[in-house]
A and B are shown apart, each in its own frame.
Chain A
């Protein structure tokens, strides 16, 4: 159990490639944190900085208030799990797990105790004599985890640990992994390109883009309360509607969109300012025009496409912007092309941001 802190960490490779830029965050003792972001965003560099295999160009990293650079590697208490297992093929499971403590020069009785304990922590006692080639992918990953325990690590660094597993097994293993980390009281940092995995396994998620920290928060924070356009764009699917604040005096701000207006979450942006309303696609509701409909924008159906898990209804709004709603697979209303509809907006489920100076497209660049 260790608290990890990054203070203004920058890493520059060569002369100009800024892999991470002024990164600051705290990972609390025993927390499970995932790093997500587009490829090249700095996830792997961040993990390598934690591992100590690369050193910061500027800034400092602390483990429990001690500067990492001053801690010898064996005192950092790190354990690693990679996508491709990195297990010795010529040693059986028992020997693989005993390797760490043996190299550290532990006594034989102590090693035996550690290995037994580690094997039972991953429910692999029965496979102690097996060789890696006889094990399935999830079993191999359990051996990697047992090795972490045998090495008495306190911090677990995971680099795409489920990348080699099939979808269905992946989901089961996510559950196992989180449970394991919590039972062992480890602080875990997990790099993945799979958002769904990050959201379902972690206490907190860090979103990175172009080497910078965009948002750190619980999965609920990222989904329901993104603090910026990029998080709205990257986590799940959102549409962005442009407008101007007409009234900012109440709990919900009134925004002019084309010739219409809607109420959205008041983000403290003043009257007259240009804004972007971000709405997740599953928060839109599309209805036939009706005088009882409230807080809507008018549009015409472009398509209503069935997708199994849900339907995607694409609408061209009056202001010529296109939005797409995700609705229940079996929703009873079917829409025809060109039909006029109301896109209902629940103000409490919107986010409102200042219109980025560089334009929306540019601000979402990955």
Chain B
């Protein structure tokens, strides 16, 4: 339990910039996810917080105490990596108790905590097993128990679930969040998986080129991405290019292929824009249902192809000669699936994420951080 703050921290590797002037703050007991592609500076940030590397400039505070020059072993941090890094010649129990032994903690207390953790993590009964006798998911649970057992206040995890099967990843996402919340830990979890970040975290920081480009709760970020970069990173979108027009005080997007879509935007009439709609917000119905629908935009079209991809149907549609994709949860009633059937698409005006298009190039609607 600790609050964390980074102030204008930079880290250069020779000429390569790892992170640049990065400031962030994490509240006591908060679960924060760092989301970004490879090379965005996620790992550098984690290593600096852990004290495994020191920043080129800037400061790090835990509970308002400057820890910039305090070594890793004195920071009360638990670290979990993508690779489990368990000692292969030690049993599960010895692996977990390694920290307390080295730190000379009271072993009777640590052993009790270790057993509680094993219980919480559903790996009771594996204490005497060796790492090569347990599965990947179990190894990562042991690594987690080891990270927490010596009174860690801050848990830092660098893509901890990446190497695991989808099913195990699902299960561990839930367990991780529960464990962190039950123990009241402050937690930072880096991942490149948007869904994982949304599932585990209270708040998400989106990284790009060593800087934070947006932060907020999953819902805030999803509903209002500041840039095309963020919208694209969050998931798949359909994009409409066109011009904003105003009629009867309502704003519309007139697209290149002459669709007129009611939208909600601050951009004024005549602005060239690109509008993105997440595929899961494009609602598709059989044509017969169109009279019962209540959307700002209802557009007729044709279904080209429907494919079952797990929890969603992936629908390929033809709307005014434009080919687009939509996702429908399979739980929805009457999802159209027969090819060539007549369909209608429903989209509300706040489904569109709109960005200005300048000189035929995509430019973020928000001022980028580099300009500050």
Residues of chain A whose beta carbon lies under 8 Å from any beta carbon of chain B = 38-40, 193-196, 199-200, 219-220, 223, 234-237, 280-285, 305-310, 312, 326-330, 349, 366
Instruction: Give chain B interface residues in 195-209, CB to chain A under 8 Å.
Output: 195, 198-199
14 pairs from A and B in contact (CB 8 Å cutoff): A38-B135, A38-B167, A200-B308, A219-B308, A236-B311, A237-B170, A307-B199, A308-B194, A308-B235, A308-B280, A309-B195, A309-B235, A309-B327, A328-B332
C-beta contact mask, B135-169 vs A, less than 8 Å → 1, else 0?
11000000000000000000000000000011110
- Of A219, A308, A312, which is within 8 A of B222 by CB? A308
- Residues on B with C-beta less than 8 A from A39 are 135-136, 165
Across the two chains, which residue of chain B brings its CB closest to A193?
B165
Q: B230 contacts the other chain (Cβ, under 8 Å)?
A: no
In the complex, the 9 A-B pairs of residues with the closest C-beta atoms, listed nearest first: A282-B331, A306-B219, A307-B198, A200-B309, A283-B331, A282-B329, A196-B310, A193-B165, A308-B222
Known contacts: A283-B331, A308-B234. The answer to whether A329 contacts B218 by CB under 8 A is no
CA distance A219 to B306 in the complex (A): 13
Q: Smallest CB–CB gap between A80 and chain B, Å?
A: 23
- Residues on B with C-beta less than 8 A from A328 are 280, 329, 332
Across the two chains, which residue of chain B brings its CB closest to A349?
B331
Residues of chain B whose beta carbon lies under 8 Å from any beta carbon of chain A = 135-136, 165-168, 170, 194-195, 198-199, 218-219, 222, 234-235, 278, 280-281, 307-312, 314, 327, 329-332, 348, 351
Pair A234/B167 contact, Cβ less than 8 Å: yes
Across the two chains, which residue of chain B brings its CB closest to A174?
B309
Pair B330/A223 contact, Cβ less than 8 Å: yes
Pair A195/B194 contact, Cβ less than 8 Å: no
CA distance A39 to B166 in the complex (A): 10
Across the two chains, which residue of chain B brings its CB closest to A279?
B331
Q: Is the interface of A mostly helix, strand, loop or mixed?
A: mixed
CA distance A195 to B166 in the complex (A): 8
CA distance A39 to B169 in the complex (A): 12
- Residues on B with C-beta less than 8 A from A305 are 199, 218
Q: Smallest CB–CB gap between A71 and chain B, Å?
A: 34
- Residues on A with C-beta less than 8 A from B307 are 200
Known contacts: A193-B165, A308-B195, A309-B195. The answer to whether A236 contacts B218 by CB under 8 A is no
Q: Smallest CB–CB gap between A248 and chain B, Å?
A: 26
Q: Smallest CB–CB gap between B214 and chain A, Å?
A: 14
Known contacts: A199-B310, A306-B222, A308-B198. The answer to whether A193 contacts B166 by CB under 8 A is yes
- Residues on A with C-beta less than 8 A from B219 are 306
CA distance A312 to B331 in the complex (A): 13
Pair B198/A38 contact, Cβ less than 8 Å: no
Pair B135/A366 contact, Cβ less than 8 Å: yes
Q: Smallest CB–CB gap between B222 and chain A, Å?
A: 5
Across the two chains, which residue of chain A brings its CB closest to B38?
A166
- Of A40, A194, A220, A309, which is within 8 A of B166 by CB? A194
- Of A196, A280, A309, which is within 8 A of B331 by CB? A280
